[in-house]
Amino acid sequence: MKIGAAMFFTDYSMAPGELARALEERGFESLWAPEHSHIPLARATPWPGGGELPKMYYDVMDPFVTLTAAAMATTRLKVGTGICLVVQRDPIQTAKSVASLDRISGGRFLFGVGNGWNREEIENHGTAFGTRHKLARERIEAMQAIWTRSKPEYHGEFVNFGPMMTWPKPVQQPHPPVIVGGAFPWGARRAIRYGNGWMPHRVREHYADVAALVPQFREMVTAAGRKPEEVPITIWGATEDREALLADRDLGIDRVVVSLEPAKAEVILPQLDRWAELARLVA
């Protein structure tokens, strides 16, 4: 089982290259960066975590910029968006960003995607909140066409373009894995339909621990005509507990991701040292 780490990179956190080097030195598999373009001041949508929205959501940097810095500072560490808000991004330009980052990292990019919870933020981008899930699917399908065809085109309800030429193409074939975030069962269904992995949070209001739903998810994968290994599971929100990690490993979870606070090295490095020791115990 692989272990990754995520951080909201801000002007008061560790720098992405600094954290990436520290993770690679300690044997972590991946580094993940989230995305919020902005947070509207007139916001009625509640934060799924409950309570006040943490300051880091207002302050987070662009993930493609921070992950580029992380990739350039390392040689083995994978870098991923956790998650990229595709409903807020132009698919043609985002396809180029993904392929470019996969190229300059030597094929180390993981494309974590999600459809968002903040209605006001999403609608500021001209996206209708109620149809964002279909929009996301079409944009991802369109990007997959761009990555895999020399003269791609796509014709859908929301995304529509004729034959074009656009490079670079990704290093990874057929393209970087599209790892779909979202709760069970809705996010799980989207991952099965068009993803190369499912990335739920460990705990949501619908369930106490997503691990209990893994057998049901795998039944859904099989019923859809896919193999479970085609849709591996990344659980977001790892706990610093050996028995919990062993349980995830034995369940066949592909990866767990540790959420780090946006802090400096003196706070983060001791945490990474403890996690590195835990990783050795469950290897």
Q: Mean pLDDT of successive 10-residue segments in the chain (283 residues)?
A: 97 98 98 97 89 95 98 98 98 98 98 97 97 98 98 98 98 98 96 98 87 96 97 93 94 97 98 94 80
Say how far apart CA 87 and CA 140 lie, in whole Å: 10
Q: Give the phi and the psi of residue 3 in degrees, each rounded to 5.
A: -125, 125
Structural contact between residues 255 and 197, judged by C-beta atoms closer than 8 angstroms: no
- The predicted-structure confidence for 104-127, as pLDDT tens digits, reads as follows 999 999 999 999 999 999 999 999
> What confidence score (pLDDT) does residue 51 get?
87
SS percent in the chain: helix, strand, coil, step 5: 45, 15, 40
Concatenate the DSSP letters of all residues of 149-161 into one string.
-SS--EE-SS-EE
Residue-range domains of the chain with CATH:
2-282 (3.20.20.30)
3 state SS of 280: helix
The pTM assigned to this predicted structure is 0.96
72: closest CA among 20, 8, 34?
20
Query: Given this model, what pLDDT does residue 252 score?
Result: 96
Which residue is listed with tokens 């997503």? 210
